[in-house]
Amino acid sequence: MASPSRVTVTQREQSMVEREVGRIYSLFAQLPPAALSFSMEIQRDSHIEYLTNGLRRLAPSFGALDASRPWLCYWIIHSLALLGEPVDAELEDNVIDFLRRCQDPSGGYGGGPGQLPHLATTYAAVNSLITLGGSRSLSSINRDKVYNFLRQMKQPSGGFRMHDGGEIDVRACYTALSVASILNILDDELAGNVGDFILSCQTYEGGIAGEPGSEAHGGYTFCGLATMILIDEADRLDLSRLIDWVVFRQGVECGFQGRANKLVDGCYSFWQGGACALLQKLRPFGLSEGGDESADSINSSLSAASNLSEQENNLESASPQVDGACQFKQAGPQSASCSVNLGNTSYNFLERRTEVGSLFNSLALQQYILLCSQLPEGGFRDKPGKSRDFYHTCYCLSGLTVCQYSWSKSADSAALPWAVVGPSSNLVESIHPLHNVVLSKYHEANEFFRKVGRDVYLQNPQSER
Ligand SMILES: CC(C)=CCC/C(C)=C/CC/C(C)=C/COP(=O)(O)OP(=O)(O)O
Ligand SMILES: [Zn+2]
């Protein structure tokens, strides 16, 4: 995928979107309370029907999207998991078998059986299998081979190639390291010099570009920041400028844009909202002493960008908990092999308490997702006037969970009731924000891969589910 070139939307396009979103909001504002409450409701049954039908159609062929079938699996299965809806047993078996056939002898997963192994589809396949959970699904992943594939994609400069002969970019670094971390095979060989590559992609604006010299973009910013956390090097980024850049991407429409001077889009609810969720747990918020000269500038940009309500500001004050030099080195399950315990960074990140409330206006974003992106007949879209698709359904729902839990102090605490817009039944499952998999599924996989260890690969046991 090429990096975005800078293209600025015209004033006319921007005004059209603002007008349309404004029209929707004023229409809903005039509704009687019962009707408004219905419109604010997640149309769970319709979404489940849309998603399940999509998954059923997946097995034979997906036409133009044939090379994206592991992605379609992930977008659909993750969306269902966020809604708390299990996949039926027969369909689950079909997906596991299909993805097993996508794993190339070299170790990476292709877009379909026999297709070129690729890091993006490897990430999608692994996240899908982890989300399905159970030993049949988890043990279908040949981790030794995945490790070999990741090593093959690793470049001497530190970055990764998306596929053999493919582009070296921030997505490749993220997908490789997210997969390695969640499968408990992350080591120094994979992590070496990745931080230098990501650093070279942080731009003068503060966000992160796909490759050095390109424009900062929300998709790459999430990937770059998550990668730096996975290798325990987030402090090397200019976090102050990064926060500035990301919080100012939330617009008057209440949703996020992907980059400056572009239109709002529902999928950035996750890419930008998710980046905020990660930033919330990082310095300078976690500093307990010594101060940080950037803290004032961060606080002022936050209050300027997100017009926080009194209720939001009244979140109980934080008690900083950081042990100074080393933010993430807390107790956690041991990784099989690596000198700085890179296998623990993802787990330990979860253990960190959040020292501030939401960095963006989480209530406004939910309003955009529910009223402008949601379709009552099922599925979510980029913006009014666009059609639904599984990608936007996945990332709008992922954005919703980020909003709902953005005021919770730790990964295992419940969402605060006032943080959920609409009826309480709107609450969706929480996620591990570094991997975007449902938290309980992450824990199950973490336990499973810790037990089987790095060197033991169970030969596809068919028994337990
Ligand atoms: C894990 C993984 C593979 C993550 C991918 C992250 C991601 C969404 C990257 C964005 C890529 C891109 C070229 C966007 C520009 O699209 P555009 O110009 O159509 O949109 P815009 O106008 O909103 O910038
Ligand atoms: Zn989008």
Tens digit of each residue's pLDDT (9 = 90 or more) over 112-154? 999 999 999 999 999 999 999 999 999 999 999 999 999 999 9
Structure tokens at 214: 């390109």
Can you tell me which atom of ligand 1 is nearest the CA of 267? 8
Nearest ligand to the CA atom of 265: 2
Q: Which of 6, 118, 211, 217 should be mutated for ligand 1, with most atoms under 8 A from CB?
A: 217
Q: Which of 1, 74, 256 should be mutated for ligand 1, with most atoms under 8 A from CB?
A: 1
Q: How far is the CA of 267 from the centre of ligand 1 (A)?
A: 9
* Cβ(224) – ligand 1 distance below 6 Å: no
* Cβ(171) – ligand 1 distance below 6 Å: yes
Which residues are known to be catalytic? 217, 259, 262, 265, 267-268, 382, 389, 392
Residue 212's nearest CA partner among 273, 154, 169 is: 169
* Separation between Cα atoms, residue 173 and residue 311, nearest integer Å: 39
* Separation between Cα atoms, residue 278 and residue 33, nearest integer Å: 35
* Cβ(435) – ligand 1 distance below 6 Å: no
Structural contact between residues 207 and 245, judged by C-beta atoms closer than 8 angstroms: yes
Which residues make beta-bridge pairs with 437? Answer: 432
Q: Which of 7, 171, 179 should be mutated for ligand 1, with most atoms under 8 A from CB?
A: 171
Which tens digits make up the pLDDT trace of 193-247?
999 999 999 999 999 999 999 999 999 999 999 999 999 999 999 999 999 999 9
pLDDT given at position 286: 55
Q: Which residue's CA is the nearest one to ligand 1's atom 19?
A: 4
* Separation between Cα atoms, residue 241 and residue 297, nearest integer Å: 9
Q: What angle separates helix 268-279 from helix 239-247, to the nearest 10 degrees? A: 140
Structural contact between residues 75 and 47, judged by C-beta atoms closer than 8 angstroms: no
pLDDT given at position 303: 40
Burial class of residue 86 (count of CB atoms within 10 Å of its CB; 0-12, 13-18, 19+):
exposed
pLDDT given at position 226: 98
Q: Which residue's CA is the nearest one to ligand 1's atom 6?
A: 219
Q: How far is the CA of 242 from the centre of ligand 1 (A)?
A: 18
Q: How far is CA 60 from the centre of its chain?
A: 28
Q: What angle do CA 108, 267, 273 make, to 5 degrees?
A: 100
Burial class of residue 208 (count of CB atoms within 10 Å of its CB; 0-12, 13-18, 19+):
buried
Nearest ligand to the CA atom of 261: 1
Can you tell me which atom of ligand 1 is nearest the CA of 4? 13
* Cβ(221) – ligand 1 distance below 6 Å: no
Q: Which residues of the chain have pLDDT under 70?
A: 1-6, 59-65, 283-340, 453-465
pLDDT given at position 1: 47
Q: How far is CA 259 from the centre of its chain?
A: 17
* Cβ(217) – ligand 1 distance below 6 Å: yes
Q: What is the torsional sign of CA 221, 222, 227, 233?
A: positive
pLDDT given at position 320: 25
pLDDT given at position 128: 98
* Cβ(219) – ligand 1 distance below 6 Å: yes
* Cβ(250) – ligand 1 distance below 6 Å: no
Structural contact between residues 147 and 107, judged by C-beta atoms closer than 8 angstroms: yes
pLDDT given at position 63: 54
Contacts (Cβ under 8 Å, ≥6 apart) of 84: 428, 429
In 51-139, the DSSP E strands lie at none
Is pTM, for the whole model, over 0.95? Answer: no
| Interface confidence: ipTM more than 0.95 | yes
pLDDT given at position 453: 67
